[in-house]
C-alpha cells in the first residue's frame, strides 16, 4: 500500500525482508546501513533479543531518488524468522509493497526455506495479496560458505525448491561479505517503483475520465 | 490499494491537528500515522533531532502488539496507550480503523487536557481519514 503524498511530492513504500530464522535478513539491512551515505538513509532501528534474534523487526528508511518528479522513500523491514513469531510477521507485513525472500543456502535449512516461503504466501493471502502478484525477489544467501566445510545447496536445487513456480528474479549473495546485497535491493526497488508507477498512471487515467 | 494524499487532504488533516496545538500554552507535538507505520502528517514543536520515521514504525508495531494483547483478553483492541517518562510523555490514540494519532508532551501538560483536546477533534479527523482511505480502496 504505497503512500502517495502530492503535497510533499513524495511516495512512501514498504519492502519486507522475509525468510527463515538466521538466514541473514538483519545482516542484509546492516550491510546496507553500513555502506550507504547518511544523506540517503535514516537510522537503523532494531528490536532484538540478547541472542541476536530479531524479536519484532529491523527498520531502515532510504531515499531512492525521484520518479516523475516525486521523491521515492522506502522503508526496509525484516521479520523474525522463527516459526512461533507468526503473529509478529503478520503485523510487519501490513501495508507491504514488495518482498525480498532471503533463503538460507545451508543444506540443513532446506526444509525451513520451503516452510517459510509457504508461510509468506499464506500470510500475504490473509491480507488479500497473491504471492504471484506482489513484487518479489529471492536471495540465496550464505553462498560464501561454499569455501568452508559447511554443506550448502547448489543454486539449481534452491531454484527448483523455491522458484520453479514463482519464476521471480533471484540472486546469490553473501550478506556478511556484502555480495549480492545491492543487486537484490536494486531489483526489488525497481519492481516496487514500477508497480507504484503503474498505479499512478492508472489513477491519472481514471482522473482524466472524470 | 494505495493511499493518495492531496494538498487539500493534508490541509484538512493539519487543520485538525493544529486545533490541538493552538489551544495549548505548552510545547506539544502531534503526528498522524497509518497502521502500517507510514507518517501522514505532523504538527507542532517536534524536536528537530527526533527520527519521526522510526517513531511512526515503532508506534504502529506497538499498537499492533497491544491489539494482540487486547484480543487475548477478549477485547477488540485498546484504543489508547499512554507512556510516561521523567519529563516527556507520549499519548497514542486510534483514529478510525486505519490511523493512529501520537501526541508528544512534557510534564507541564496534564494527560487530562490532552485527552479532552483529542476527544474534541477525533470525530472530525476520523471522517477525513476514512474518506482518504475509502478513495484508496477504489483506486
Interface test mutation site (partner A, options B54, B72, B100, B135, max chain A beta carbons within 10 A):
B54
**Can you tell me the ipTM of this complex?**
0.75
Give the pLDDT of residue A159: 97
**Looking at the domain assignment, is residue B85 inside a domain?**
yes
Low-confidence ranges of chain A (pLDDT < 70): 48-52, 204-210
pLDDT digits (tens, 9 = 90+) for B37-85: 889 999 998 888 888 988 998 898 888 888 888 988 999 888 889 999 9
**Looking at the domain assignment, is residue B2 inside a domain?**
no
**Looking at the domain assignment, is residue B121 inside a domain?**
yes
Give the pLDDT of residue A66: 86
| The model's pTM | 0.87
Q: What is the CATH number of the domain that holds B88?
A: 3.30.450.30
CA distance A174 to chain B (A): 27
Give the pLDDT of residue A146: 83
pLDDT digits (tens, 9 = 90+) for A16-40: 999 999 999 999 999 999 999 999 9
CA dihedral B115, B119, B125, B129 (to 10 degrees): 80
Q: Which residue has the higher pLDDT, A180 or B1?
A: A180
Which domains, ranges and CATH numbers included, belong to chain A? 3-209 (3.40.50.300)
**Looking at the domain assignment, is residue B30 inside a domain?**
yes
Residue B104's H or E segment, with its range, is: strand B99-106
**Looking at the domain assignment, is residue B57 inside a domain?**
yes
What is the spatial distance between Cα A25 and Cα A80, in angstroms, rounded to a whole number? 9
pLDDT band at B138 (very low <50, low <70, confident <90, very high): low
Query: CB–CB of B3 and A3 under 8 A?
Result: yes
Q: Which of A13, A20, A5, A135 is nearest to A70 (CA)?
A: A5
**What is the domain range of residue B39?**
7-138
**Looking at the domain assignment, is residue B100 inside a domain?**
yes
Nearest CA in chain B to A203: B139
CB-based contacts of A146, cutoff 8 Å, min separation 6: A152
Q: Which residue has the higher pLDDT, B137 or A1?
A: A1
What is the spatial distance between Cα A75 and Cα A63, in angstroms, rounded to a whole number? 9
Give the pLDDT of residue A186: 95
Domain count, chain B: 1
Query: CB–CB of B61 and A5 under 8 A?
Result: no
- Quote the mean pLDDT of chain B: 89
Amino acid at each position: 500500500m504505497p503512500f502517495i503524498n502530492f503535497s510533499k511530492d513524495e511516495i512512501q513504500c514498504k519492502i519486507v525482508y522475509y525468510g527463515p530464522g538466521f538466514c541473514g535478513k538483519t545482516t542484509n539491512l546492516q550491510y546496507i546501513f553500513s555502506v550507504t551515505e547518511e544523506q540517503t538513509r535514516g537510522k537503523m532501528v532494531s528490536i532484538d533479543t540478547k541472542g541476536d534474534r530479531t524479536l519484532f523487526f529491523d527498520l531502515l528508511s532510504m531515499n531512492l531518488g525521484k520518479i516523475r518528479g516525486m521523491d521515492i522513500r522506502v522503508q526496509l523491514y525484516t521479520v523474525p524468522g522463527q516459526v512461533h513469531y507468526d503473529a509478529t510477521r503478520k503485523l510487519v507485513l501490513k501495508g507491504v509493497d514488495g518482498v525480498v525472500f532471503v533463503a538460507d543456502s545451508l543444506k540443513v535449512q532446506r526444509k525451513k526455506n520451503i516452510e517459510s516461503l509457504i508461510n509468506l504466501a499464506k500470510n500475504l493471502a490473509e491480507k488479500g495479496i497473491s504471492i504471484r502478484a506482489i513484487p518479489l525477489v529471492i536471495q540465496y544467501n550464505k553462498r560464501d560458505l561454499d569455501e568452508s566445510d559447511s554443506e550448502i545447496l547448489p543454486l539449481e536445487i534452491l531454484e527448483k525448491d523455491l522458484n520453479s513456480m514463482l519464476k521471480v528474479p533471484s540472486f546469490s549473495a553473501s550478506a556478511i561479505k556484502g555480495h549480492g546485497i545491492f543487486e537484490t535491493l536494486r531489483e526489488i526497488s525497481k519492481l516496487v517503483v514500477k508497480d507504484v508507477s503503474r498505479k499512478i498512471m492508472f489513477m491519472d487515467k481514471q482522473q482524466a475520465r472524470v | 490499494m494505495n493511499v493518495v494524499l492531496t494538498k487539500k487532504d493534508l490541509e484538512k488533516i493539519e487543520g485538525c491537528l493544529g486545533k490541538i496545538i493552538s489551544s495549548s500554552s505548552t510545547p506539544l507535538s502531534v503526528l498522524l500515522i497509518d497502521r502500517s507505520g507510514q507518517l501522514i502528517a505532523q504538527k507542532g514543536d517536534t524536536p528537530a533531532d527526533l527520527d519521526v520515521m522510526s517513531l511512526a514504525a515503532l508506534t504502529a508495531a506497538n499498537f499492533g502488539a497491544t491489539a494482540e494483547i487486547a484480543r487475548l483478553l477478549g477485547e477488540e483492541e485498546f484504543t489508547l496507550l499512554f507512556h510516561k517518562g521523567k519529563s516527556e510523555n507520549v499519548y497514542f490514540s486510534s483514529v478510525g480503523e486505519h490511523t493512529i494519532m501520537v501526541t508528544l508532551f512534557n510534564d507541564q501538560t496534564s494527560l487530562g487536557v490532552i485527552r479532552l483536546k483529542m476527544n474534541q477533534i477525533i470525530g472530525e479527523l476520523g471522517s477525513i481519514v476514512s474518506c482518504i482511505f475509502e478513495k484508496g480502496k477504489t483506486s
